[in-house]
Amino acid sequence: MLRRFLKALLCNAFKNLLGLGLSAKRCNLVPIATDFNMIDLDTTQSHHRLNIDASQLSQGLCGKITIPGDKSISHRALMLGSLAEGETTIRGLLLGEDPRSTAACFSAMGADISELNSELVTVRGIGLGNLREPLDVLNAGNSGTTLRLMLGILASHPDRFFTVTGDRSLRSRPMSRVVNPLRQMGANIWGRENAARAPLAIIGQNLKAIHYQSPVASAQVKSCIMLAGLMTDGETMITEPERSRDHSERMLSAFGATVTVDIDSNTVSVKGGAKLVGQQVTVPGDISSAAFWLVAASIVPNSDLLIENVGINPTRTGILEVLAEMGADITYENRREVTGEPVADLRVRSADLKACRISGAVIPRLIDEIPILAIAATCAQGTTVIADAEELRVKESDRIIAMVKEMTKLGATVTEHPDGMEIVGGKILTGTDVESYDDHRVAMSLAIAALVAKGKTSINRAESAAISYPSFIPTLQTLYS
């Protein structure tokens, strides 16, 4: 009965994926799975276990897929649409759990947000400064972007009281990196460990503009301060040690804010007193989601995969630069611009990868892709060193510990360092039981590793993939059907 249920579930998922642009064409194989011997999602326990047996994989990963909308852009479209005057339409919104948390929080504060879907979402904003006090605690779920960016908005709404929290993972993550600069602006924020951990309580104030010298290159820190600066008198500036992703700068400008960017000094500024006006937003595919397939098609022999509609914002293309340095065969097709964001289709074919060093200025531009790059490194000839990536320790899990432990279980030779890891490539992986740590990027990275492992790999708590990529497992099942 379970098999029949799962087959029906996959058939429905497959039909939905066809609507999203997933092609079943792949190396002369049939278009839909008829058994689950190779990839089986076990939902009989409270936490789902994804079982992958790569011994039955006889051909490469071929065809074409369209990935879900960019998570970073989805968050910002919902937030700015809520703060704008008039109507904002969003096409291609990511339907993961994180954007749902953002939508729920801003709906609770008065924004009129239609039912979320990937086709068309309508947001009727209430205007900057007009958020209402919510009747209950705002819950950001697992989303650090929701909580950190929202803090800048809430702190700048005078004479209103807000309480924010998240799930157990989010409540353990550091908030002082945004709370400290907000306090410099005059924010009143209280919480555990001197407001270093959620839950947090905020009483909105009239904030003052500052020039903040950020000790870390973080788009979340930068965006939080920029959003707080929208309602100040004056110009708020943020200087980073390295350039971080610039989706906030682009979207704030599109919505009507006055934003200045100095690339040479890694400084951005926003003028207070802005009036935001609703816009039409089309969300490109998330390069962080594409990264799993870029690596999968690179390391699985005889692969030829086209990934359509991928955002290639230059502050996010570190993954493409590093894979190119490793010898990956990736070409850009149909380059274009969508709502101010550069987009392309990416064709990737299997290749013999070589080791490299991943460190320095590129790290902020691929911090979320390091787990899957670590998997690529296990298949590369030589020793790959990942450094300057201590930020990984304060993600949904300590991703350095998580990836070192789980790759070691699979038979990889990995050494942990305080700011990264060292991976000796070329060793055949062996399937075993591994743990996702409820971290979506760890779960999906281990699933890709399983495709080149000998024998069966079982990934515990695989449902965490839905946080950023709800259709990841159905896509994986369909491509390998």
- Round to whole Å and give the CA distance between 265 and 271: 18
CA 157 to chain centre: 28
CA distances from 465 to 97, 110, 348, 376, 380 (A): 10, 30, 23, 19, 25
Q: Is the peptide bond before 364 cis (omega within 30 degrees of 0)?
A: no
- Round to whole Å and give the CA distance between 444 and 7: 21
Residue type, 278: G
The residue count of the chain comes to 481
Residue 350 in tokens: 């299997």
Angle between helices 144-155 and 97-108 (to 10 degrees): 20
Q: Does residue 264 carry a catalytic annotation?
A: no
Angle between helices 97-108 and 71-83 (to 10 degrees): 10
Catalytic residue among 53, 70, 368, 439: 368
Please, which residues have CB within 8 angstroms of residue 58's CB and are 6 or more apart in sequence? none
CA distances from 45 to 37, 50, 52, 167 (A): 19, 11, 17, 21
Host H or E run for residue 81 = helix 71-83
For the chain, report the end-to-end CA distance as a whole number of angstroms. 20
**Nearest in space to 2 (alpha carbons), one of 44, 33, 38, 39:** 44
Give catalytic residue positions.
Answer: 368
